[in-house]
């Protein structure tokens, strides 16, 4: 089985799906000849031509608007937004058109597409290249939201997203684009959307994370284990629809939960997870749920490592929660 990083796995998924279905179209800024700013689409234009791998103008609203038109005519567009921070000019197209087209047309039209975009900090990108806007799209009815943490999941989740009938926001944690390496099957396969993964079993505290922060949670969990605290670690993979059954099963076992995400704390997705856990597992909780997150400030440049919820911030939360 070949070893791949996340960039290679996503590229492989796109290539396989474009070979399988001639309706799959890739479009975005510099995705063709250059292969994207992170080279995720490198080589696709050479194989599939300029009609199926389209370099667009610098216009995020235009990219998504074009994808909506393609989807209405039966194509399967996979638009790329160069950084998730640049998705806001396309926000109206996504929430007003992509998310609502099936509903407003009574099912006559769909907006089947996968919007790919790099997300999160950790590359010294500053406040215009490091944000995590996932909660805005989870809040929008009609969208699915995915954020893989590793190469194997990235390939399977992307293939499942392309084949899914609904529009999907596919957030790719750029901090681990090339750092997260592992064995990836060469054939096409799907990782079901809405299925979380228990990557570490434990009995004292449930820790929930996704994307690049999973690795910080793994490090903190190992350090907690050395201090006698057993951590069960869940990688959400698909943020919405969330696999609440896996979360509740774990919380019923441990009685305690710590949620980790890069986005600011207020109204972040962690708040919704806390609400769901309180609704479905309140009587099993032995301590208040805790969130370890980014701060309610713009993402800083020089203080990036203070802003991110790295292992040194997660560990005290885990230990304190376990000892409540």
pTM: 0.96
Q: Give me the architecture of the 3-183 domain, per CATH.
A: 3-Layer(aba) Sandwich (3.40)
Catalytic, 129? Answer yes
Per CATH, domain 197-322 is 3.40.1030.10: no
From-to residues of CATH 3.40.50.970 in the chain: 3-183
Return the pLDDT at 126: 83
- pLDDT band at 324; cut points 50, 70, 90: confident
Residue 94 in this model has a pLDDT that exceeds 90? yes
* Percent of all residues in the chain with a pLDDT value above 70, rounded to a whole number: 100
Quick one: average pLDDT of 207-215?
A: 98
Return the pLDDT at 158: 98
Residue 83 in this model has a pLDDT that exceeds 90? yes
- The catalytically annotated residue of 129, 261, 284, 312 is 129
From-to residues of CATH 3.40.50.920 in the chain: 197-322
pLDDT in tens, 273-310: 999 999 999 999 999 999 999 999 999 988 999 999 99
Residue 119 in this model has a pLDDT that exceeds 90? yes
- pLDDT band at 137; cut points 50, 70, 90: very high
- The sheet with strand 257-264 has its strands ordered as 197-200, 231-235, 205-209, 257-264, 290-294
Return the pLDDT at 277: 98
Residues near 238 by beta carbon (within 8 Å), at least 6 away in sequence: 144, 145, 146, 147, 157, 193, 194, 195, 196
Are the C-beta atoms of residues 229 and 200 closer than 8 Å to each other? no
Q: How many helices (H) and strands (E) does the chain have?
A: 12, 14
Rg (CA), the chain: 19
pLDDT in tens, 148-187: 999 999 999 999 999 999 999 999 999 999 998 999 999 9
């Amino acid at each position: 089985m070949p070893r791949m990083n996340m960039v290679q796995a996503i590229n492989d998924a796109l290539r396989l799906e474009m070979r399988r279905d001639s309706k799959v179209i890739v479009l975005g800024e510099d995705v063709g000849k250059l292969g994207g700013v992170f080279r995720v689409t490198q080589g696709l234009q050479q194989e599939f031509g300029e009609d199926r791998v389209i370099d667009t103008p610098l216009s995020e609203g235009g990219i998504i608007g074009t994808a909506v038109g393609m989807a209405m005519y039966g194509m399967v567009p996979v638009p790329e937004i160069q950084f998730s921070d640049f998705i806001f000019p396309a926000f109206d197209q996504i929430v007003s058109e992509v998310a609502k087209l099936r509903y407003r047309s009574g099912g006559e039209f769909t907006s089947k597409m996968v919007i790919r975009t790099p997300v999160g900090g950790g590359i010294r990108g500053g406040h215009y290249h490091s944000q995590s806007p996932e909660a805005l799209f989870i809040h929008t009815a009609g969208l699915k939201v995915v954020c893989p943490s590793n190469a194997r999941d990235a390939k399977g989740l992307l293939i499942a997203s392309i084949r899914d009938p609904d529009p999907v926001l596919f957030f790719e944690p750029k901090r681990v684009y090339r750092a997260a390496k592992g064995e990836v099957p060469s054939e096409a396969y799907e990782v079901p959307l809405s299925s979380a993964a228990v990557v570490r079993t434990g009995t004292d505290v449930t820790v929930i994370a996704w994307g690049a922060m999973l690795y910080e949670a793994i490090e903190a969990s190992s350090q907690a284990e050395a201090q006698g605290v057993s951590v069960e670690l869940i990688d959400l993979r698909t943020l919405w629809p969330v696999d609440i059954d896996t979360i509740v099963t774990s919380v019923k076992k441990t009685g305690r939960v710590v949620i980790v995400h890069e986005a600011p704390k207020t109204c972040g997705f962690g708040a919704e997870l806390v609400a769901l856990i309180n609704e479905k597992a309140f009587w099993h909780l032995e301590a208040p749920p805790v969130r370890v997150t980014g701060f309610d400030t713009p993402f800083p440049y020089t203080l990036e490592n203070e802003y991110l919820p790295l292992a040194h911030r997660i560990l005290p939360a885990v230990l304190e929660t376990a000892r409540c």
